[in-house]
Structure 1
Amino acid sequence: MEIFVQQLFNGLTIGSVYSMVALGLTLVYGILHIPNFAHGALYMMGGYITLTMMTKLGFHYWLAIIVSVLAVGFIGVLMERFVFNLLRDAPPIHDKIAAIGILLFLEAFAQFVWGADYQTMPTPYGQVVNLFGLTFTLQRILIIVSAIIVMILLYLFLKKTFTGATIIAMAQNREGANLVGINTNKVAMLTFMISGGLAALAASLAAPINLVFPGMGHLVILKAFVIIILGGMGSIPGAIIGGYILGFSESLGATYISNDYKDLIAFILLVIILTVKPTGLFAKGGH
């Protein structure tokens, strides 16, 4: 029973990271219909920037994270302005090729600047907490709490603010949003900024548990794509719930089936769910 609860908690931790990454991905997809393959590289950049701020400039963990979120958000805006915006009227395949190009460029850049070695990120929250006979590290609790706060804030932003309403309007119909005077360029930039910021935050929170290296975004982004397909492309609740479904399946699968196959679980789950419900759990219209 203790192992089960411990694994549920681990599932909650992994799921929180996946959900944050998938949220950024689904926002961009829902609004601009761009499957941003470079999102994993933004995640990776987030990890490196936080690490550099702490180790080279001696910033406190939270301050480093804020710098990282802003910096990666800015990289997201640059990507939207100088790449995706220019390709808006190009055939859809061009977006995808450009995104893969950005991904390769950022990975090569990271390898050039920081080297290919695995690096460990220090954290002020390495303490172990005992609760009801179970051991948790503070960092894992921090990941879960931060993810929940971010999701609530994002929900309130999208539902309660005028800017949030323009994002949702644009997700439903870009042309229509343009006609009613919404500045679609601004909304697109803002969406990429939020998306990059979420990726950086997820990486900065997860890195002390995992490691920082140029390819750290690969598996995470593959799984984020699985999540947004699971949840229904462009659905925000779908991205959140899909992230946790995957997190739980992985941590329980690793314990009760085999640790060797835990990365396969995402794809097995994808096949099962799409067989039953081809449009995903929360298909469009479920906003």
Structure 2
Amino acid sequence: MNIFFQQLLNGLTLGSVYALVALGLTLVYGILHIPNFAHGALYMVGAYAAFYFVGTLGANYWVAMIGAAAVVALLAVLSDRLIFHRLKDAPPLHDMIAAIGLLLFLEACIQATWGAEFHRLAPPYPQIVRVFDLVAPAQRLIIIAAAFGLMLVLHLFLTRTLVGSTIIAMAQNREGASLVGIDATKVSILTFAISGALAAVAATLFSPINLIYPSMGHLVIMKAFVIIILGGMGSIPGAIVGGLVIGFAESFGAFYVSTNYKDIIAFALLVLILSLRPQGLFPSGAR
């Protein structure tokens, strides 16, 4: 029972982090139809920003998380204004090329500053929680609680506030939203800011149990794209469910099959599910 619980906890930890990254990616795609391949680099910058705030400035872990979210949100907005906004009338391929170029540029900047070696963010909560005969690292429980808490806040923001409603309206019908007076520029800026903040929070949550290095965003962004395709392009519930599905598949697959195939499992699962349900787990209009 304890072994099963450990794999369940690992799956929830991975799934919640993947879901946060995928949520930011699917928001940008659902509203602006930009496949932002640079989102993995934003995730990486978030980890380094948190590492800097904690290691160099001596900030509290949660303060570092807020600082990293603010830095990456600003960086995401700048990428929108300076790059993607200028390409709004260009063919879609240009957005993809620009995003890949931004990814490589950010990685080069980080490597020039911190080098190519691995870093680790010291776990702020190294304690072990024991309930009956079950044992769980406190850091993993905090990752799960914080990630799901943030998902709930995002859901309430999108569904219960006027600003959130404008984002949903823009995602459902961009032309119609513009006709009723919704400012597409403001929505675009806010969407990129939220997307960047989500990536930074996910990276800060995951960094105490994972290594920090310049190319750490590559595999994460590949899995995030798997998740949003699996859940339905542009679907927020799909990003959450898809993240959990991939997280559980990796955790249980690594334990019961082999850790060598852990990363392949996500892509195999994508092929299997899309062969049965080509539109993904949720329709793209499901918000």
Report the TM-score when normalising by structure 1: 0.99
Does 2:72 correspond to 1:72?
Answer: yes
Give, in whole Å, the separation in 2 of the partners of 1:67 and 1:285: 33
Unpaired runs of 5+ residues, structure 1, are none
Is the 8 Å Cα contact of residues 116 and 213 (structure 2) preserved in structure 1?
A: yes
Aligned residue type for 1:83: I
Q: Deviations over 1:71-124 (max 9, x none)?
A: 000000001111000000001100000000000000001100111110010122
Match of 1:11 in 2: 11
The 5 A counterparts of 1:109-148 are 109-148=109-148
3-state DSSP of counterpart to 1:129: strand
Give, in whole Å, the separation in 1 of the partners of 2:245 and 2:218: 20
Give, in whole Å, the separation in 1 of the partners of 2:124 and 2:6: 22
Match of 2:43 in 1: 43
Match of 1:178 in 2: 178
Aligned residue type for 1:260: N
Q: C-alpha displacement at 1:182, in angstroms?
A: 0.5
The 5 A counterparts of 1:142-221 are 142-221=142-221
Q: C-alpha displacement at 1:175, in angstroms?
A: 1.6
Give, in whole Å, the separation in 1 of the partners of 2:174 and 2:85: 13
Match of 1:270 in 2: 270
Q: Deviations over 1:119-178 (max 9, x none)?
A: 010122111122222221111001000011101000000001011000011001212111
Give, in whole Å, the separation in 2 of the partners of 1:232 and 1:284: 5
Q: Deviations over 1:182-217 (max 9, x none)?
A: 010000000000000000000000001001100111
Give, in whole Å, the separation in 2 of the partners of 1:124 and 1:248: 25
Give, in whole Å, the separation in 2 of the partners of 1:94 and 1:202: 28
Unpaired runs of 5+ residues, structure 2, are none
Does 2:240 correspond to 1:240?
Answer: yes
3-state DSSP of counterpart to 2:135: strand
Match of 1:26 in 2: 26
Give, in whole Å, the separation in 2 of the partners of 1:2 and 1:61: 30
3-state DSSP of counterpart to 1:187: helix
Give, in whole Å, the separation in 1 of the partners of 2:247 and 2:168: 27
Q: Deviations over 1:39-64 (max 9, x none)?
A: 00000000000000111111111111
Deviates most, 43-52 or 2-11? 2-11
Match of 1:101 in 2: 101
3-state DSSP of counterpart to 1:36: coil
Give, in whole Å, the separation in 1 of the partners of 2:262 and 2:116: 25
Identity across matched positions, percent: 61
Give, in whole Å, the separation in 1 of the partners of 2:196 and 2:285: 25
Deviates most, 121-130 or 221-230? 121-130
Q: CA RMSD in A?
A: 0.7
Q: C-alpha displacement at 1:68, in angstroms?
A: 0.3
Q: C-alpha displacement at 1:285, in angstroms?
A: 2.5
Aligned length: 287
Give, in whole Å, the separation in 2 of the partners of 1:215 and 1:73: 20
3-state DSSP of counterpart to 2:129: strand
Aligned residue type for 2:284: K
Aligned residue type for 1:261: Y
Give, in whole Å, the separation in 1 of the partners of 2:132 and 2:92: 53
Report the TM-score when normalising by structure 2: 0.99
State the 4+ residue runs in structure 1 displaced beyond 3 angstroms.
none
